[in-house]
Amino acid sequence: MSSPVEPGLKSAAKLAAAVRAGESSAADALAASSAVIADRDEEVHAFLHLMTERAEAQAAAVDAKIAAGEDAGPLAGVPIALKDNMCTRGAPTTCSSKILEGWHPPYDATVIGRLEAAGAIMVGKTNLDEFAMGSSTENSAFGPTRNPLDTSRVPGGSSGGSAAAVAAGYVPLSLGSDTGGSIRQPAALCGVVGVKPTYGAVSRYGLIAFASSLDQIGPFAHTVEDAALCFDVISGHDQLDATSIPEPLAPTLPNLHDGVEGVRVGIIDELMGEGIEPDVRRRTEQAAEALAAAGAIVDTVSVPATIYGLAAYYLIAPAEASSNLARYDGVRYGQRVDGANVATMNTNTRSAGFGDEVKRRIMLGTYALSSGYYDAYYGKAQRVRTLISNEFDAAYENFDLLLSPTSPSTAFELGAKSDPMSLYMCDVCTIPSNLAGHPAMSVPFGVGDDGLPVGVQVLGPMLQEPRMFQAAQVLENAAASGGAA
């Protein structure tokens, strides 16, 4: 296991401060990032495409602003990687699918505009499981991404490329999307911080939909502080997204170090038992102890419906996906495989363009929504979703935050989980937050028996990101001072 992180690319906050102070430049930061990528990414394969031209132009613009004495923004000169399911104007955006090969969106996702306005430099687009469907980044039409900490292992998924890009030290920040754990699980497996914000806190405009009621964009970072900094930049109302929360959001950065004195934290009983590796369970218990040591009031809490989360998720997410992915029909963009008539062309295009896991979920979702089966499958899954929300609400009457493992295990080897069900199990701890729309994040907390990182998950109620980040900061401090030894 190597620790290849370039020191200058470890902290977005410090890098931006140095750039803003004129001690470093955006151009230098970009050059350092490019050098590490060139050195390492042939092996890791975090990136699908680099946006060199745009990145250089952005870096020049930031440096010009600073030279002119203007405010270059809180992320001035910070290189950032973007999961390749976020639209970038004029640059390839593939969702790791052959069906979108060659398509260049005519517009930027809202988060891209916000990052650019904050001075960030878009380095490139990262690998993912095709259309964000997977937990290992092995389901990419363009080949898997490897875990930079141990390249025989997966980085997790579906945002494995973005997690690996940070873990490998290419960039201090990256964006992923989380539908059932696709930010938090790879963050845990790559030993970085990963945040799934409250549904509606970050605009989905320009995020290519997998399951619209669950998808949410969030940051990866080495530190809780960087994650908070990035969240504050990308969050907030967007009139282009009707599900975006209209009220102003409280910033997380100002009170990040307020601690957890008197904060009530509940360990979710159902996520500490069978199916969770003992070393992961032990780290989670140690994390709870660290919070208690910092003044939190820690207890266990039962949220029984969480065990049905996985089943409900694998009906709701595929159902939405079956509709969201219908538009890839060969008519307007992306790949087209001709046929004798339009219907045959549609079929040929989709048969050739989608990978097996995508097809599996489209079929699953189509079935779940079919007339005669809707009530038994999709309808019942929606009722489970409501039940989970209600149970979380009940838990939050007695607790301010909840705690659980992020992933049942540390990073596994490529090819180890070849049957879909065992891969689906990777998301058992993370899915409930997506179903409820609540924020949750993964923080590295020590290593497992195999020496690979373990992540613990901090969960909060709607819009309680500030408190969630405060607890995560306490855990980061505890891990750094030997609390996870």
Partner 1 sequence: MSDTTETKQVLPDGWEMVIGLEVHVELATKTKLFCGCANHFGDEPNTNICPTCLGLPGSLPVPNEQAVHFAMVLGRALGCSVEPGIFARKNYFYPDMPKDYQTTQYEEPTNEHGAITLPDGRVIAIERAHIEEDTGKSTHLGGGGRIHDATATLVDYNRAGVPLVEVVSGPEMRNADEARAYVAELRDILLATGVSDARMEEGSMRVDANVSVRPVGSDELRTRCEIKNINSLRSLGRAINYEARRHVDLWTNSDQPNQETRHWDEEGGRTTPGRSKEDAEDYRYFACPDLPPLVPTAETIAGIDESMPALPAARRAALAAAAGVGEADTLLAIERGLDGLACETIAAGGDATAVMKHVDQNLAEGQGELTAASFAALVSMEADGALSSTQVKTVLAELVANGGEPAAIAESMGFEAMDTGELDGLLDQLIGDNPDEWGRFLEGDNKVQGFFVGQIMKATQGKADGKIVNQLMRQRAQG
**Residues found near partner 1 in the complex (CB under 8 A):** 85-87, 93, 95, 100, 103, 105-107, 109, 204-209, 211-213, 239-243, 319-320, 322-323, 326-327, 329, 331-333, 341-343, 346, 366, 369-371, 374, 378
**Nearer Cβ to partner 1 (200/483):** 200
Strands annotated E in 51-203: 79-83, 121-126, 173-178, 193-196
Residues found in the chain: 485
Q: How far apart are CA 88 and CA 100, in angstroms?
A: 13
- Sign, CA dihedral 166-41-186-103, equals positive
Q: How far is the CB of 370 from partner 1 (least distance, A)?
A: 6
Calculate the CA dihedral of residues 73, 75, 78, 83 and round it to 10 degrees: -120
Q: How far is the CB of 207 from partner 1 (least distance, A)?
A: 6
**Nearer Cβ to partner 1 (204/438):** 204
Q: CA angle, 7 as apex, 77 and 43 as ends, to 5°?
A: 95
**Nearer Cβ to partner 1 (323/477):** 323
Q: Which residue has the tokens 């079956």?
A: 322
Residues near 181 by beta carbon (within 8 Å), at least 6 away in sequence: 135, 196, 406, 407, 426, 427, 429, 430, 431, 434
Q: How far is the CB of 182 from partner 1 (least distance, A)?
A: 16
Task: Spot the catalytic one: 11, 24, 83, 203.
Answer: 83
Q: Where are the alpha helices (DSSP H) in 168-236?
A: 184-190, 224-234
**Nearer Cβ to partner 1 (212/477):** 212
φ, ψ of residue 301 in degrees (nearest 5): -140, 145
Task: Spot the catalytic one: 11, 33, 97, 182.
Answer: 182
Task: Spot the catalytic one: 25, 96, 158, 203.
Answer: 158
**Nearer Cβ to partner 1 (119/334):** 334
Q: How far is the CB of 119 from partner 1 (least distance, A)?
A: 24
Q: How far apart are CA 207 and CA 88, in angstroms?
A: 10
Q: How far is the CB of 408 from partner 1 (least distance, A)?
A: 28
182 classed as catalytic:
yes
Q: Where are the alpha helices (DSSP H) in 325-463?
A: 342-353, 356-369, 380-398, 420-424, 431-436
83 classed as catalytic:
yes
Q: How far is the CB of 425 from partner 1 (least distance, A)?
A: 25
Q: Of 209, 76, 220, give the one whose Cα is nearest residue 159.
A: 220
**Nearer Cβ to partner 1 (378/399):** 378
Which strand (E) or helix (H) includes residue 459?
strand 453-459
Active-site residue list:
83, 158, 182
